[in-house]
Each structure stands twice: as structure tokens, then as C-alpha cells.
Structure 1
């Protein structure tokens, strides 16, 4: 890890929730936050794997079950929550998988990467006091926009197209969440990050064997470590950045290196699409933005 890449303040006495924290970027993010004094709740689908991963964390880590492909699980996680959340990291995700659907009938990549996190964030938001960081990808640039007429991509599914749409949705979600937080007078900040090209187990689930083979070669020759890939998330979570900021590596066209503010596609700045996606997401999940003003 580039230890001097981010100056991280002491985080003692604070609580973080990190989704998908049992491996890859989520585990590396958990390790950094815990070393800096945070109590990290590792929100994972497989509790046994989560407990095994927690043994590698130097600090306070607690494992709780969360399946983002099941809205009942998301609601249960939020319903059982008690106490403040200083940092929510929407990290979990699936990448370029064969077509399938979540328990609630959503295309899996959109359902897990966006809709599950959308519901989780809004349900937990009354507890959040600091930041919401959502992990996107520069593959969002492959999506020209959200296909509102065919969100599940039934008329043209490809694994990469679905992944790109879900990662664009992450950035549009962050944009609209920040707008709503400001309108509600909330001090909470919504930011996003991407890891560049980081060697994690995410690529191993790709549907296309040729693509998977290219990922193996790329991981060996180009990719940075998972630990370095987690640094943009840490940057977005701890540094002085504006609302809706997007952090990522600054070398090799955003593939690797120390983190800083990153650019995004024109489609990811589309505030009209962001509001429409929010409305559609509320309709699909049955979860709405909470009345934060009433709780102030």
C-alpha cells in the first residue's frame, strides 16, 4: 500500500458500515478504517466467510448478515440497527456475470450494485452522521445512459453492458443523494470512488471465459493491489472533498496510483437522469428518502 498516499485522521470512537467487507476492496477498506480506530461493521452475505475475514482485521470489527440481492434482508439489517453511523461505504458488487435476477426480480448487477444499496442507504440515513461513499467504476463510461425503458436489459443483455449501467447508476445516485441532503439541510456528504484497475476476486466471476482470461493477464501486468485499490474509497471517506465528489487513482489514465479527484462521463453528470433514476428506484424498492428535517 502507498502509505503516504492519503493522510488519514484518527477515527477513534466512530462507527462504519462496509458492505461486501469479507474480501477484496471491502476487506482492505475495513482494515484501514479499523487500524485508524473505527469500529467497522462488516455487512456480508456469508457470515462464516465474514468471520474468517474479520480475523485478519487489526481492530474492532463486527460481522452482520446483509444480502443486497434480497430487499427483505436489507430491511432486516436496517431495522435492527441502533446507534450512529459515521460512515456508510456502499462497496459490495458483482461484475460482468451471466444474466440472472435477484430475489425481487431485478437484473442482478443493477439489483445488487445499485438498488440494494439505494434501499440500504435510505433506510440507514437517519442514523448517518458523516458520509456515504459509493464505489463505482470507470467502466461507467461504457454506458451512454440508463435504459429506463428496459432496466433489466431484457432486449439486449450483455454482462459488460449491465455492469456499466449499474456503475453509472452508482454515480447518478450519489449526485441526487447529495442534492437531496443539501435540500434537507443535512451535514451528511455523499461521495463516490473507483479503484482503478485493482486485482481482486471480482473479475473471477465474469461470464465470458475470454474476458476472464484477459483479466488474469491484466491483473498480473497492470493492476495495482487490492490494498491500493481501496485508497480512493478511503480518500472519499476522509479527505476534504465537495459533495458528489468522485475519487480515483491519478496515474495511467486512472488505472493506478495515489488517489485524488477523478473525472466522470457527461452521462454521470445528468441531473435529470439522476432524479428520474431516484424516482424509479423508489418505485422498485418501496424505499424513499427519509424526512431528515423532521428528525433534526
Structure 2
């Protein structure tokens, strides 16, 4: 019998287990971090924004588990290295959830296009640096926008071609899908890699047009088909604790795959290309200077 997917964020007992969750100070990452702490787990939630980090710790309260928020900025490789070097504990579950959107082209501290740098290159470097400490599972937050993405290996940072937020975001998420495949190839049977997408969750990440009026209009039109951040975190939780094969892609089962209960979904040929996976891995190594042996 197939395992029953999670329907709430009441997770199984996580006592004695440590989760490293990026992007945990808001949205679906915050909901997952609070659920893990409520289930007795220890959450390491590296964060850039100290005010949001303090809010997360306060929300976790004095529950069964704990939340720690050391400083890290995924848009700054030096910061990623400092965090990885400071990590002294083994990790049961690594959740690469942090993501960025932007209404205009911006760059990271290392000169990367912001969305590629934050959504792919920063997590790529972090995972390579801490992989030997991960014991159970690595989860990568994807997006169905990968289906319209195209990775331009000659100009991944949009220095010559025209930038727009959707193309940049879709490229970064296609990189994530392909990176997962290449990462699993290198980890073998030691640690499974799974993926998840939250559907259309009410997290504010959709506010990317640069126009408050247009952003409000988009929210108004799509809100009947969207779901809460808590429900959006369910596929992520399912990918982390569910009994699924490596490279399973978990998302909501409802209308347009925007909302609903978690299910395993098919990854298109674009998102599982073996050649594309190796090309994206090489891009990550070239840009971050990190690799797995």
C-alpha cells in the first residue's frame, strides 16, 4: 500500500533530529521550521534578516524543540563559507528552501544575477560544503516554472541578453531541478535527494512586477485558486519525511497543481535531462568554486 501523504503539518516525532532549513524566516520555510520545532526537532535556520530571525525564534517559543538562527546570506558566497565552517553538528535533513524574486535585475555580492545566485548558486555551494554532515535526506524547493525555463550557459547572468523576472526565475528553477539530478548521481545511495513545490501559496513571492497595482490584481485574480503558506509547506514536509524514492517531485494535487494535498508529480524531460544536469553542475562548480568529490 502506498504511504498516506501528510494532510497537516503535525509531523512525526522529531526528537533528537536536526534540520537545516534555509529561507525559514518567512513563507513556507517558516511554517516548516515551526512544525519541526513543535515536533521536538532542532532547527538550524540560517538567516540574513535579524529581525525576521528573532520573530521566528519567538514564534517557536519554548516548545519541545528549538530554533537557532545563525547568520548567513545565500547571495554572498563568503557568508555561505563562514556559516558552513561554523557548523559543528551533523544534519539529518537539509532543506534548500530559500528563494528570491525581484522586479528588476540585481546582482549578488559576487556579481551573479540575483535570482540565479540566490535560488541556485548559493544553495549549490552550501550543499557541497555541508554534504558530508547530512545523514538522511536533502530536499530542494522547486517550482513548476522550470517547465518554461531555459538555461543560457553562455550568459546565465543576463549580462548581454534582455532580463525579465519570469525568465530569470524560470532559469533558476530549471537549474534547481537539474542540479538535484546531478547531486543524486554524486551522492549515490548515501543520501536521497527529493524535490517539492508549494503550488500557488500566499507567501508574497508573487509580488514581482514592480507595480503594486498589478501585483494586487494578480493576487485578486489568483487568490481563489491559491493556498495558505501552511498548506504550501505540506509538499516540502512530505518530501522531507515521506517514504518516497530519490528524485521524487512532490506538489499539490488540485487545480493547476496550485493547491491541494501533496502527491508525487512527473518531471518533464526538460527537468530530468542527464546532459542538462551535468551542464548545470559544471556551471555551479565554475561559478562557486565548490564541488563534491
Q: Shorter-normalised TM-score: what interval?
A: over 0.9
State the shift of 1:5 in Å. Answer: 5.1
Q: For residue 155 of structure 2, what is the aligned residue in structure 1?
A: 150
Q: Which residue of 1 is the match for residue 36 of structure 2?
A: 33
What is aligned with 1:87?
93
Give yes or no for contact 2:7–2:234 (8 Å, CA) kept in 1. no
| 2:177 is the counterpart of 1:171 | yes
Partners of 2:247 and 2:127 in 1: how far apart?
Answer: 15
Q: Distance in 2 between the 1:170 and 1:279 partners? A: 13
Q: CA deviation at 1:96?
A: 4.3
Cα distance in 2 for partners of 1:218, 1:79 equals 45
1:96, 1:162 within 8 Å by CA — same for their partners in 2?
no
Distance 1:3 1:132, change over 3 A: closer
C-alpha distance in 2, partners of 1:3/1:130?
19
Aligned to 1:70: 76
SS in 2 for 1:94: coil
Query: Aligned with 1:276: secondary structure?
Result: helix
Contact 1:236 1:246 in 2 (8 A): yes
Whether contact under 8 Å (2:23, 2:45) holds in the other structure is yes
1:199 counterpart residue number? 202
Which runs of 5 or more residues in structure 1 are unaligned?
292-296
Aligned length: 285
Matched position secondary structure for 1:204: coil
Q: Is the 8 A contact 1:137 1:194 kept in 2?
A: yes
Question: Could you say which residue in structure 1 is the equivalent of 2:233?
Answer: 230
Secondary structure of the 1:43 match is: coil
Q: Say which SS state the counterpart of residue 110 (structure 1) adopts.
A: helix
Is 2:94 the partner of 1:60? Answer: no
- Report how far residue 210 of structure 1 moved: 5.8
Q: Normalization by structure 2: what TM-score?
A: 0.92
Q: 1:157 to 1:129 in 2, by over 3 A?
A: same
Residues 5, 259 of structure 1: 8 Å contact kept = no
Q: What is the RMSD of the two structures over their aligned residues, measured on CA atoms?
A: 1.8
Distance 1:13 1:115, change over 3 A: same
* Whole-Å separation in 1 of the counterparts to 2:40 and 2:67: 10
Match of 1:118 in 2: 124
Alignment partner of 2:112 out of 86, 106, 109: 106
The separation in 2 between residues aligned to 1:178 and 1:132, in whole angstroms, is 9
Q: Deviations over 1:172-222 (max 9, x none)?
A: 11111111111xxx4211111000010002223543556523332145322
**Post-superposition shift, 1:51?**
1.2
Map of 1:15 onto structure 2: 18
Shift of 1:266: 1.9
| Alpha-carbon spacing, 1:23–1:282, altered in 2? closer, same or farther (3 Å) | same
Q: Residues of 1 paired with 2:254 and 2:10: CA distance?
A: 19
Contact 1:140 1:164 in 2 (8 A): yes
How far is 1:265 from its partner?
2.6
Distance, in Å, in 1 between the alignment partners of 2:271 and 2:208 is 26
Is residue 2:10 matched to residue 1:4?
Answer: no
Look up the match of 1:260: 263
Which digits, 9 at most, give the CA deviation of each residue in 1:71-100, with x for residues without a partner? 000000000001210011111111243101
